[in-house]
Structure 1
Amino acid sequence: MKKVILAAVAVFAFSFANAQEGKFKLGAHVGLPMGDIKDSYSLNLGVDVAYLWDVADQFKAGVTTGYTAYLGKTETFDFGFGISGEIKNPTIGFIPVAGTAQYSLSDNLFVGADLGYAIYAGEGEGDGGFLYQPKFGYQTEKIEFYAGYKGISSDGATAASINLGFNYKF
């Protein structure tokens, strides 16, 4: 875990040293849980911070982090004999530490992806996992809107969601 954090700090430090060549992005996302967690979690919410620099014409790469949370549903169980109960699933949160890349298909359309590790930051015990998020979006000089599929895989299970996001570029 310490190595992952140190690597992220090193990448961010390199990014800040080259700040004149790139752009910061600050944004938010909302999504619907899919797959393994869709029955227990109702919504994915989060904030995103990224720094990208120009690698080639129409291609940018950089680093991203933030916080993403899956909000738990309350589930009702019927145990029989007139006995029932409710269980509130806890919110699970993750801090992504990832590389990000974006290719502009035109002045306004882009495809991109985030790949890295998501550190578990939710209530109770939990594991982090491999993070992947392909994206497709619309951009102007200062803003982006995107749709993406976010997956965090760990030990054969995946916390996943289909997301809509917004970024402001500085």
Structure 2
Amino acid sequence: MKKSFFIVLIALFFISSAFSQSNFRIGVNAGIPVGDIEEFTTFQLGADVAYLYPVSNLFSVGALAGYSRYFGDDVSTPLGNINVDDISFLPIAASARFGFENSLFVGADLGYAVGLDDGNDGGFYYRPKLGYAFGPVALIASFSGISVDGGDVSSVNLGVEFGF
């Protein structure tokens, strides 16, 4: 618990620092769980904040912090129905993007997702992205994965991002 609290404090520090800068981004996304988790959850919702520093006209790097929740499902077993609890994470990651001349971009987030539930230790976080920017607003398709003990928590997502 102390470890999670410390990581949340670090994330809040980075977020508050980003508010005073340009290239600040806020995004929301929804997804369909896939892989190991798809039988136990129904859908995923998430939000994140990021600061991206432009290294060149087409390449940016920065930091990202967010919140992701996988909503549990009722699972039928021979012994009866089991209600699976929701699973929540706080991803903290390095972020990079490469833009093309036509507003299309690719990117990736790599870091650690802190587990916010009892018995959820978190794990390695990765999220490749493909997006299209309409000025300060971008539509993003992504695959989000968290490597946890015994498997992966993954989803295919669609989202929108607002730049400031």
The one-letter amino acid of 1:41's match is T
Q: Deviations over 1:88-130 (max 9, x none)?
A: 10000000110111110223100000000000013x3211100
The one-letter amino acid of 2:78's match is D
SS of structure 2 residue aligned to 1:5: helix
How far 1:78 sits from its partner (Å)?
2.9
Q: Structure 1 residues 57, 88: CA separation in 2 closer, same or farther (over 3 Å shift)?
A: same
The one-letter amino acid of 1:48's match is D
User: Is 2:66 the partner of 1:72?
Assistant: no
User: Is 2:154 the partner of 1:160?
Assistant: yes
1:58 aligns with 58
Number of residue pairs matched by the alignment: 162
Task: Structure 2 unaligned segments of length 5 or more: list them.
Answer: none
SS of structure 1 residue aligned to 2:75: strand
Q: Structure 1 residues 153, 24: CA separation in 2 closer, same or farther (over 3 Å shift)?
A: same
The one-letter amino acid of 1:141's match is G
2:98 aligns with 103
1:90 to 81, 85, 88: 85
Q: Equivalents in 1 of 2:86, 2:41: separation in Å?
A: 8
1:5 to 4, 7, 16: 7
User: Is 2:142 the partner of 1:148?
Assistant: yes
Q: Equivalents in 2 of 1:33, 1:93: separation in Å?
A: 13
Aligned Cα RMSD in Å?
2.4
Q: Report if the CA contact (8 A) 1:8-1:97 is conserved.
A: no
Q: Deviations over 1:113-159 (max 9, x none)?
A: 0000000013x321110000000011022101011111000224100
SS of structure 1 residue aligned to 2:39: coil
Q: Report if the CA contact (8 A) 2:42-2:71 is conserved.
A: yes
The one-letter amino acid of 1:154's match is V
**TM-score scaled by length of structure 2:** 0.88
How far 1:37 sits from its partner (Å)?
0.5
Q: Report if the CA contact (8 A) 1:11-1:63 is conserved.
A: no
Q: Equivalents in 2 of 1:112, 1:125: separation in Å?
A: 31
Larger Cα Rg: Structure 1 or Structure 2? 1
SS of structure 1 residue aligned to 2:23: strand
Q: Equivalents in 1 of 2:108, 2:126: separation in Å?
A: 7
Q: Equivalents in 1 of 2:153, 2:55: separation in Å?
A: 31
How far 1:51 sits from its partner (Å)?
0.9
Aligned residues with identical type, % of pairs:
38
SS of structure 2 residue aligned to 1:56: coil
Q: Report if the CA contact (8 A) 2:124-2:147 is conserved.
A: yes
The one-letter amino acid of 1:35's match is G
Q: Equivalents in 1 of 2:56, 2:9: separation in Å?
A: 24
Structure 1 runs of 4+ off > 3 angstroms?
Answer: 6-11, 13-18
